[in-house]
Chains A and B, each alone.
Chain A
Amino acid sequence: MSLIADEIIQFSSVLRMAYNLLTGRNYLKRKKFREKEKLVAVTLPFSDLAFAAGTIPVFPIRMHQFEISQYLTYLGSASSIFGWNTVSNFLGFIRNLGINEISKIVDDIIEDVIDVINKKYNEMYDIGIENGISSDFCYGLKSLVGMHVTKGSNVDACLNVTIRCSAYNKYLESLKAINKGPKQIWVDIPPRNIGNAIELLTNNVSNAIKEFENLTGKTITDNQIRDHFKIGNQVKRAYKNIIYEISASDFYPCNPATFSEIMALLSISFQDYNSNAPRYRDNIMALEREMRERIRKGIGMDVADRPRIFVTPMFGGWEPKSHEIIYELGGRALYADWELLRMLEEIPTSSHSNPAEEYARFLMNATETGIGCDNDKLTDSYLRMARDLNADGLIFFQLFGCHSISNCYTMLREKVRRELEIPTTAITFNKIGENVEQVKTRLGAFMEMFR
Chain B
Amino acid sequence: MDDLSLLSDLSLFLKEKKANGVKIVAYLAHDNIPEELLDAAGFFPLRMMFGGNDDLMDASHNFLPPSTCAFAQSCIGLYSTKPNIFSFLDLVDFFIVSNHCVSDICVSEIISKHFNIPRLDFYVPYTKNNSSLKYFKLELLELKKRLEAITGTEITNEKLFESINKYNEFKRVLLKVNELEILGSEKLKVLQRAMLYGPEFQPDLEKFIQYVRENPSSLLETSKDILFTGCSIFVNDNLVDLIEEGGGNIIFFDTWIGSHYSSQIINDSSIQTEKDPLDLLVLKFKDNIYGDHTVPNFLEQKVALIENYYQKYTKTKGRKLGVINHIIKFCDHISLLSSFLKERLQEKGISVLNLERDYSRANSGQLLTRIEAYLEMME
Contact = CB atoms under 8 A, between A and B. Distances in A.
Contacts of A137: 335-336
**Residue among A190, A398, A403 with the highest chain B CB neighbour number at 10 A:** A403
A196 interface: yes
B105 A176 contact: no
B336 A203 contact: no
B330 A136 contact: yes
Contacts of B109: 374-376
Contacts of A220: none
Interface stretch (A18-26, A29-37, A157-165, A279-287): A157-165
Interface in B166-213: none
Contact of B335 (A134, A200, A404): A134
B373 interface: no
Contacts of A188: 125-127, 129, 131-132
B65 A398 contact: yes
A167 interface: yes
A137 B343 CA distance: 19
Nearest to B119: A374
Contact of B69 (A160, A200, A403): A403
Contacts of B64: 407, 410
B244 interface: no
Interface in B317-336: 329-330, 332-333, 335-336
A388 B182 CA distance: 63
Interface string B96-122: 010111110110011001000000010
A195 B138 contact: yes
A174 interface: yes
A176 B296 contact: yes
A164 B295 CA distance: 13
Contacts of B138: 190, 194-197, 200
B130 A136 contact: no
A173 B99 contact: no
A423 interface: no
Q: How large is the interface on A (under 10, 10 to 19, 20 to 34, 35 or more residues)?
A: 35 or more
Contact of B131 (A133, A141, A201): A201
A193 B332 CA distance: 25
A174 B106 contact: no
A409 B126 CA distance: 25
Contacts of A411: 110, 113
Contacts, number: 153
Interface in A425-449: 428
Interface in B46-64: 62-64
Interface in B63-113: 63-65, 67-69, 97, 99-103, 105-106, 109-110, 113
A243 interface: no
Given A200-B134, A203-B131, A407 B65 contact: yes
A375 B106 contact: yes
B296 A184 contact: yes
Contacts of A374: 97, 105, 109
B141 A134 contact: no
B135 interface: yes
Given A191-B125, A192-B123, A207-B129, A164 B335 contact: no
A177 B106 contact: no
B142 interface: yes
A204 B126 contact: no
Given A136-B330, A190-B123, A204-B131, 5 more contacts: A166-B99, A170-B332, A403-B68, A407-B68, A407-B106
Interface of B: 62-65, 67-69, 97, 99-103, 105-106, 109-110, 113, 121, 123-127, 129-132, 134-135, 138-139, 141-142, 293, 295-299, 329-330, 332-333, 335-340, 343-344, 356
Interface of A: 131-134, 136-137, 141, 160, 162, 164-167, 169-174, 176-177, 184, 186, 188, 190-192, 194-197, 200-201, 203-204, 207, 373-376, 398, 400-404, 406-411, 428
